[in-house]
Amino acid sequence: MGWTRREIMLGSLASVGTLAVQKPGFAAASSYFSGTTVDNGVTFRSTNFAKIDRKWHRQVVKYFSSEPIGTVVVDTTHHFLYLIMENKTAIRYGVGVGREGFKWYGRATIDQKALWPRWTPPPEMRQRHPELPESVDGGSPKNPLGPRAMYLLRDGVDTGYRFHGTLEPGSIGKDASSGCIRMFNEDAIDLYQRCPIGTAVQVLPHIADQAQNAAQATPVE
């Protein structure tokens, strides 16, 4: 699917660096967490999926697309990310997307990946929220990127957008970020493992006609 100059520019204008959080502060409802998990030597709070609507759980769905297997497609209207698989299926993840004024659409590639990435708020964000730190170390319980970050580039240029984890599981399924695509931490880890460098990404307003509904989906363990 082609993109108009206006659509591409919308993405460029919304981008202001890493853009990981909507507002200062990192508190999250404790009910969204249950126990802890250790990943690459870092202990983090596990998502309490019993408190999460099933439609946002990672699952396999039927998916019809002309995009190649391995492509990641994001439906921003319905808050789903699809990783296209074989036999007209996809792994579907619930995601949080950009709030009004920070949405973007277009194509990119995953050209960089990071385990427990360090977060550095871009200057524009610190101007809006001067109380933010200059940076937050990877693995810190206050790092909004969580355990993984996948950096989206377009023609070799960093778009400023990422797929990454979240400190706020309750924001999945909502327009909550400054443009980045938020995932449950467990889902960010899963997607990271499945997407090599060079993975094609397409971010769309909506694609509901290409994927089956939640009632027909199969959970992914």
Known active-site residue 164: yes
Show the DSSP H helices in 33-145 as ranges. 123-128
Active-site option among 57, 78, 79, 164? 164
Catalytic residue among 57, 78, 79, 180: 180
Distance (Å, whole) CA 32 – CA 49 = 7
Catalytic residue flag (residue 195): no
CB-based contacts of 214, cutoff 8 Å, min separation 6: 54, 55, 59
The C-alpha atoms of residue 79 and residue 56 are separated, in whole angstroms, by 9
Q: How far apart are CA 42 and CA 179, in angstroms?
A: 27
**182's tokens:** 């938020």
Report CA Rg, the chain. 16
Torsion of CA 104, 165, 90, 98, to 10 degrees: -20
Candidates 152, 31, 32; CA nearest to 98 is: 152
CA–CA dist 69, 84 (Å, integer): 5
Name the β-bridge partners of 64.
Answer: none
List the helix and strand counts (H, then E) for the chain: 3, 13
What positions carry a catalytic annotation? 164, 180
